[in-house]
Structure 1
Amino acid sequence: MDEFQIVKSRKTNKKKTVVANVERILKTVYDIRWELKSTSIFTELNECLLPYLEASCGSGRHVDMVCYGLGSFVEAHIARYQLALMTALRDKFQSKVPFRNCEVYDPIFITEERTLLQELGFTVLMTNEEGKRMCRPDAMTVFYLPHCGKALYNNLLWANWGPGLQHIIVIGNSFTAMTERTPFRILQSTAKYVANIQPYTKEQPLTIPDQFSDVFNDTSVHSFPTNLLDTVRDALWDDNAEPVYTEQDAEIIFKAQ
């Protein structure tokens, strides 16, 4: 599957190689999409997500999807697999629930990658939101953050801090693993909101076949059902200062000032 190789010796050669192989990359993504549709990863995602989304959309809501931190899929086979999974999920949502849009952003995308994403039917964001997307209550928003830094998850939770978390789902690094493996000092500086909401999160780890362990390892689906959020103390919601990071700790690309 990983037949595409970028020539890295000279910048001009790299650009020509990317342009010449856009169609090949597109075909590779579609081939991987079909491969993933027959795996336990895709099956478990559908079993976990669709009932929740269908129940949530019963009151007239629609479904949005947002992806941050996909990575350079013209260079990395891992990013191509993650893109293929996002494409497969988007297609499934379109056929099963009132789906509106899928937006994608990574500050490292080159022009050809943005063009290819548009060809695949995605909306490419041009502004670095740093994950601070406040979601509307008339939609369920599925966030896909494959192997992103802790600060991006933290920003997303902060932006929706409160009972409104019931309107989002996060596919990405396990919150449980993140809180258990990260020293307390780092948690407080880069993932405070992840640590604070983890006890009130419904987390479904995905079963990852060995051949995809480098691509989807440590991936879970996180939702925030009202029955759990209703048990949160008001003092936790009131502790809602905007996160501030040092560049050394954050694992995030900040927007240009």
Structure 2
Amino acid sequence: MDGFKKVKRKPRRKHLADEYDETSELYFENLCRRVDSVVEQFQDDDMQLETITKLKNALSQLGTDVNISSIVCYGLGSVSNSKNSLYQFALIRQISLRYEIPLFIYDPVFTEADVKLFERFNCAVLPLDDVGVRKVQESTLFFTPHAPRIITDNILRSNWGLSLSDCIIFGDDLTKIIVNTPTRIIANSFPFINECQYFVEVIPLENKFKYSDVFNDLAFHVFVPSKLTTVDPRTWEVDTVSAKASNNQGLIESC
């Protein structure tokens, strides 16, 4: 071979392989360090300060004695595989720590590493995908960053009526969704989002984060008890709202 010797490749060092193996301890340790670092950074981040300011505003509208009993998070995505999900988790984790509120979390895309990570942070991973079908008994903050709209619609449906005052929804601005979505789609596919526009209080967040697509178009949504009591009682008939959407859909399909 003209005096050249074939160079044998050295076997890849195990720890380098482990670094990318989601089932390895090294991968998990690195993930925890990364999350710890980001969560710590959010302590003084402008986005957290903006969120706290608007959350206080939301709570003040509900009453001075309102305390959030739990945070339920849907649609977060995989923290181990998505930077956006990591930043969103860091924000809600800081809110949870600041106010000592238990955090419950679920997304069907969670990996084993994600679940293990949440357990390390004492976050309860919900055992079932209830897609927002959750009736609450105490004031609950629902964190739904860019989650499918059906989740928000299900939260509203499950608590439809005066119980909505126990729901604080921190997710995509519903006023923008309603304005930017054809009326027939909102009315037929998401009837409770459509109906709530007449009595929901929307408190938009200014997006102060360094990456514009992580917390864009988010808002707090609250349902003030004194306003709910002025709503026509027929509005609270869940079957009527659902039937109206079904009838509209039938008319559209027959055209």
Q: By the TM > 0.5 criterion, same fold? A: yes
Stretch moving more, 184-193 or 29-38: 29-38
Q: 1:29 aligns with which of 30, 35, 57?
A: 35
1:3-152 equivalences under 5 Å are 16-17=21-22, 19=24, 20-50=26-56, 53=59, 58=65, 63-94=69-100, 99=101, 101-136=102-137, 139-152=138-151
Instruction: In structure 2, list runs of 5 or more residues that go unmatched.
Output: 1-16, 246-255
- The structure whose Rg is larger is 2
Q: Deviations over 1:138-162 (max 9, x none)?
A: x210000110011110001000000
User: Which amino acid counterpart does residue 170 of structure 2 have in structure 1?
Assistant: I
Shift, 1:13, TM fit: 8.4
Shift of 1:195: 1.5
Calculate percent identity across the aligned residue pairs.
Answer: 25
**Which secondary structure does the structure 2 equivalent of 1:199 belong to?**
coil
> 2:240 and 2:146 mapped to 1: Cα distance?
25
CA contact (8 A) 1:18 1:74 kept: no
What SS does the aligned partner of 2:128 have?
coil
Shift of 1:201: 1.2
Instruction: Compute the displacement of 1:51 (Å).
Output: 6.3
- Counterpart residue number, 1:182: 181
Aligned residues: 226
> Which letter does structure 1 place at the counterpart of 2:140?
T
Secondary structure of 2:53's aligned partner: helix
Query: Residue 185 and residue 15 in structure 1: after superposition, are their counterparts in 2 closer, same or farther (change >3 A)?
Result: farther
- CA distance in structure 2 between the aligned counterparts of 1:239 and 1:231, rounded to whole angstroms: 17
Q: State the shift of 1:53 in Å.
A: 4.7
Match of 2:232 in 1: 233
Normalising by structure 2, report the TM-score.
0.80
Question: Which stretch shifts more, 215-224 or 204-213?
Answer: 204-213
Residue 132 of structure 1 contacts residue 156 of structure 1 at CA under 8 Å; is this kept in 2?
Answer: yes
- One-letter amino acid of the counterpart of residue 85, structure 2: A
Q: Which amino acid aligns with 2:114?
A: E
CA distance in 1, matches of 2:242, 2:72: 21
Q: What residue number does 1:224 align with? A: 223
Residue of structure 2 equivalent to 1:254:
none
Deviation of the 1:91 alpha carbon: 0.5
CA apart distance, 1:239: 4.0
What is the letter of the counterpart of residue 65 of structure 2?
G
TM-score normalised by structure 1 residue count: 0.79
Residue 131 of structure 2 aligns to a residue whose secondary structure is coil
For structure 1, list consecutive stretches of 5 or more residues without a partner in the other structure.
1-11, 246-257
Q: Deviations over 1:61-92 (max 9, x none)?
A: 66111001110111110000011111101001
Task: Identify which range, 143-152 or 210-219, moves more after superposition.
Answer: 210-219
